[in-house]
Amino acid sequence: MVQQVLYRALVSTKWLAEAVRANKIGPELRVLDASWYEPGGKRDAQKEFRERHIPGASFFDIEECKDKSSPYEVMLPSEKHFADYVGRLGISNQTHVVVYDGDNLGTFYAPRAWWMFRVFGHRTVSVLNGGFKNWVKEGHPVTSESTRPEPAVFKAGLNRSLLKTYEDMLENLESKRFQVVDSRSEGRYRGTEPEPGTQGLEPGHIPQTLNMPFFNFLTEEGFEKSTEEIRSMFQEKKVDLSKPLIATCRKGVTACHIALAAYLCGTPDVAIYDGSWSEWFRRAPPELKISEWKRHKA
């Protein structure tokens, strides 16, 4: 079997700062701020972007680049919707895309944007290791100047092997072909903590699912842990990276941290259950929802 050469999933703040200094942001290198925060909270991603961002960056609006007809939170848009959206951001199939976000953890939404490019066939995409938090902390330049990139043509082709549906997840309960890992906190996974920001959505998990909270892949400073540490984490959970793997969470966002972590270990084909617990809770029969919620509340 020929070893697949993987594109670098992470770029350092130093590397990107040098690219900014050398005026390399343009058709061949685009930077996207993929920040998102719960509506009604203290932070407004678009306002923060307008006030300061990495020079040359554009805002990747997850609320615009999604399937707006879906009853679930941030389901993938169509190929055409994605292609048109990123084309307006000046991204072609030849562009190296670097994504970051401003979350206090260091990285939260950026891996979702990274996976979206990959699921639509774009190989040259990276996450800024440490995110905007460390970019600012290290004293790299920020600006409030808006960027208006020249529109480009992007052709999207959906890679279905990286995407799983509710029906796929039901089938997997019988076939057990895929290992399934849930990236939410242990309390939300078990059903002892409420699900944030979503009315009517109780916590819990899909049967036969392992729990690996996404934030454990990050250091206290907000950088991705070393490949050796990540590999040990998978081994401790008895997740075999040589076998098929699906990642899930609440809405298909932090699940992408599992995909990124596995990719860093040389496993590029982790699939995301896009609807995740948000869809499963609403569609699955009661016996297929594992939760301590009612007992915990009592």
Contacts of 275 (CB under 8 A, 6+ apart): 72, 75, 165, 166, 251, 252
Decide if 237 contacts 182 (C-beta within 8 A).
Answer: no
**Cα–chain-centroid distance for residue 174?**
27
Dist. CA 129–CA 135, nearest whole Å: 9
Give the residue among 93, 99, 152 at the shortest CA–CA distance from 123: 93
SS (H, E, C) the chain: CCCCCCCCCEECHHHHHHHHHCCCCECCEEEEECCCCCCCCCCCHHHHHHHCECCCCEECCCCCCCCCCCCCCCCCCCHHHHHHHHHHCCCCCCCEEEEECCCCCCCCCHHHHHHHHHHCCCCCEEEECCHHHHHHHCCCCCECCCCCCCCCCCCCCCCHHHEECHHHHHHHHHHCCCEEEECCCHHHHHCCCCCCCCCCCCCCECCCEEECCHHHHECCCCCECCHHHHHHHHHHCCCCCCCCEEEECCCCCCHHHHHHHHHHCCCCCCEEECCHHHHHHHHCCHHHCECCHHHHHC
Active-site pick, 65, 249, 256, 265? 249
Token output for 90: 């000046």
249 among known catalytic residues: yes
The residues assigned a catalytic role are: 249
